[in-house]
């Protein structure tokens, strides 16, 4: 039986320890190459392109991958430091059979990871990952592995095609000196984002774009936007954008320094596309974590929000199923199906800037119709995890909360996928009422699911962008 290696966003860990020890990485590279060759009509010598973020362990991981990929019978090309969506775009449009992005996204620098990208530019499906894991479980180390370092063919010049791709997104709407602040999280966008936005005519104020191998995401980027908020106000910028370490997500800041997260970006882009007659079926996709305020505001605008599970690959699958062109996550992954089947932070920022330039309004005005509702999240320790519907008292408590919030809020009760926790999330217009409902469900869960200890503190959110 194979051991699961891939998580929700590829392989993650601490370099030098399983699953990111040298032997496992080499065998993973060989298994990926073997899987490509074994596919129906698979190429005799698959071509794999690889990029990495700015962590100091990235080049080492890349060398181990090169050993395995080449021993597995495939060609390995490196584009050096590049955003994950850049690797996806180059894979899809450069005639490669697969792509590899060495990154741990928004995680701190000691972590790293490996993301597998298919020939279409999409992240590998779970079926593909399982086949690779099965190969790892049954195949030994390929002969010759470990005897010499992998020969990494450098092809950094290919990134120019990604830069051109980004510049084309702006269309005919010039930025005409618009002052734009960007926080690159000392990550993979540090060189490209200022270059592209400057090329489009923006007056770019750049923060946290001096990677040293260990400062990626450190008090910066989309998970720490405080410095960007202050700089936007101090420099009188029209707008700001904060990327994460590998550039696949972005959040925005308006001229007053207020945050506009992925929900806000989805709202303003959806409304702009709908007004232009370019929003198929007047619908978009977002995950169960998007605020009820987004659903309500879109409904008022005549747009339907279709919810799905978390993860940008899940979002894209639902977009395909419903033939929709826009989807994303509250965290800032935004997918435009006409561009890529995955999130791209720089591309999203350019799309937002294009809307600002075309409509000649500020970001705050574009999200004025969106009110983010107060949210309370309670994590309840549990010792068992039966279906909620199979626990009568708890199911009844959830039902009462749903009835009380009907049409004005939302209840989401689910088990954690990684911890022995029940997550109780409630959104509504009255913060105190929401807090009381969450406490009631959490108390019933504690009694019904036999977990000891006190109910953890509430985690609350709910600010109105714009």
CA–CA separation, 410 and 93 (whole Å): 41
- Which CB contacts under 8 angstroms, 24+ apart, belong to 164-171? 165/89, 165/93, 166/192, 166/196, 166/346, 166/347, 166/350, 167/196, 167/199, 167/200, 169/339, 169/347, 169/350, 169/351, 169/354, 170/200, 170/350, 170/353, 170/354, 171/354
Q: Give residue 458's pLDDT.
A: 44
**CATH H superfamily, domain 170-366:** Alpha-D-Glucose-1,6-Bisphosphate, subunit A, domain 3 (3.40.120.10)
**How many angstroms separate the Cα of 331 from the Cα of each of 3, 325, 464?**
29, 19, 16
Q: Give residue 391's pLDDT.
A: 96
Q: Give residue 452's pLDDT.
A: 47
Residue 302, judged by CB atoms within 10 A of its CB (0-12, 13-18, 19+), counts as exposed
Q: In which residue are the tokens 């597998």 written?
A: 116
Q: Give residue 42's pLDDT.
A: 87
Q: What is the CA radius of gyration of the chain?
A: 23
What is the CATH code for 11-159? 3.40.120.10
CATH 3.40.120.10 residue ranges of the chain are: 11-159, 170-366
Instruction: Count Cβ atoms below 10 Å from residue 75 Cβ, excluding itself.
Output: 17
DSSP one-letter code for 157: G
Q: Which residues contact 37 (CB under 8 A, 6 or more apart)?
A: 43, 44, 46, 72, 73, 74
Reading the block at residue 391, the tokens are: 């626990």
- Among 9, 428, 465, residue whose Cα is nearest residue 225: 465
Asked whether 345 and 241 are in contact (CB, 8 A), the reply is yes
Asked whether 46 and 87 are in contact (CB, 8 A), the reply is no
| Active site amino acids | 105
Provide the CB-side half-sphere exposure for 61 (13 A, CA).
Answer: 34
CATH 3.30.310.50 residue ranges of the chain are: 375-461
Q: Give residue 149's pLDDT.
A: 52
| Helix and strand counts by DSSP (H, E) for the chain | 14, 19
- 3-state SS, residue 380: strand
Q: Give residue 463's pLDDT.
A: 39
CA–CA separation, 385 and 117 (whole Å): 34
Tell me if the bond preceding 354 is cis, omega within 30° of 0: no
CA–CA separation, 294 and 264 (whole Å): 8
Query: What region, left, alpha or beta, does residue 12 occupy, with left being phi > 0 and alpha being psi -120 to 50 degrees?
Result: beta
Q: Give residue 8's pLDDT.
A: 80
SS3 content of the chain, % helix, strand, coil (to 5): 40, 20, 40
Asked whether 207 and 231 are in contact (CB, 8 A), the reply is yes
> Which one is the CATH code of 375-461: 3.30.310.50, 3.40.50.300, 3.40.50.1950, 3.40.50.620?
3.30.310.50
Asked whether 120 and 339 are in contact (CB, 8 A), the reply is no
Q: Give residue 150's pLDDT.
A: 61
CA–CA separation, 119 and 375 (whole Å): 39
Q: Give residue 446's pLDDT.
A: 95
215 Cα distance to chain centroid:
20
Residues with pLDDT less than 70, the chain: 1-2, 139-150, 418, 450-466
Return phi, psi of residue 306, to 5°.
-105, 125
DSSP string, 221-268: GGG--HHHHHHHHHTT-SEEEEE-TTSS-EEEE-TTS-EE-HHHHHHH
- 3-state SS, residue 194: helix
CA–CA separation, 13 and 2 (whole Å): 18
- Among 261, 417, 416, 226, residue whose Cα is nearest residue 331: 261
């Amino acid at each position: 039986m194979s051991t699961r290696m891939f998580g929700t966003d590829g392989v993650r860990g601490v370099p030098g320890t399983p699953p990111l020890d040298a032997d496992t990485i080499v065998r993973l590279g060989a298994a990926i190459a073997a899987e490509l060759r074994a596919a129906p009509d698979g190429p005799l010598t698959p071509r794999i392109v690889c990029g990495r973020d700015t962590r100091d362990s990235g080049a080492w991981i890349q060398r181990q991958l090169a050993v395995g990929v080449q021993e597995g019978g495939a060609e390995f090309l490196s584009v050096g430091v590049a955003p994950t969506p850049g690797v996806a775009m180059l894979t899809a449009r450069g005639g490669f059979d697969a792509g590899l992005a060495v990154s741990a996204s928004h995680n701190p620098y000691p972590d790293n990871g490996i993301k597998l990208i298919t020939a279409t530019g999409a992240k590998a499906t779970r079926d593909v990952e399982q086949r690779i894991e099965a190969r790892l479980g049954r195949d030994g180390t390929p002969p010759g592995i470990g005897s010499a370092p992998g020969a990494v063919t450098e092809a950094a010049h290919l990134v120019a095609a990604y830069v051109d791709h980004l510049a084309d997104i702006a269309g005919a709407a010039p930025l005409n000196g618009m002052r734009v602040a960007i926080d690159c999280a000392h990550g993979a966008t540090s060189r490209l984002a200022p270059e592209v936005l400057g090329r489009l005519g923006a007056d770019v104020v750049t923060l946290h774009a001096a990677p040293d191998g260990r400062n990626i995401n450190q008090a910066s980027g989309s998970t720490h936007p405080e410095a960007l908020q202050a700089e936007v106000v101090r420099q009188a910028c029209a707008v700001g954008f904060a990327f994460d370490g590998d550039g696949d997500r972005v959040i925005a800041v308006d001229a007053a320094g207020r945050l506009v997260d992925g929900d806000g970006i989805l709202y303003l882009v959806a409304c702009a596309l709908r007004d232009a007659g370019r929003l198929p079926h007047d619908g978009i996709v977002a995950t169960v974590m998007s605020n009820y305020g987004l659903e309500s505001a879109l409904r008022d605008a005549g747009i339907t929000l279709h919810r799905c599970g978390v993860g940008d690959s899940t979002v894209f699958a639902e977009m395909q199923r419903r033939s929709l062109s826009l989807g994303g996550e509250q965290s800032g992954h935004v997918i435009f199906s006409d561009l890529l089947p995955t999130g791209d932070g720089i591309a999203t920022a350019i799309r937002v800037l294009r809307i600002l330039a075309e409509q000649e309004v500020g970001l705050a005005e574009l999200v004025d119709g969106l009110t983010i509702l107060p949210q309370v999240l309670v994590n309840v320790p549990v010792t068992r995890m039966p279906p909620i519907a199979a626990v009568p008292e708890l199911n009844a408590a959830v039902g009462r909360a749903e009835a009380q919030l009907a049409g004005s809020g939302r209840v989401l009760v689910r088990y954690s996928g990684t911890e022995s926790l029940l997550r109780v999330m409630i959104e509504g217009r009255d913060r105190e009422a929401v807090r009381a409902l969450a406490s009631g469900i959490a108390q019933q869960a504690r009694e019904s699911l036999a977990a000891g200890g006190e109910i953890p503190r509430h985690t609350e959110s709910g600010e109105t962008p714009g």
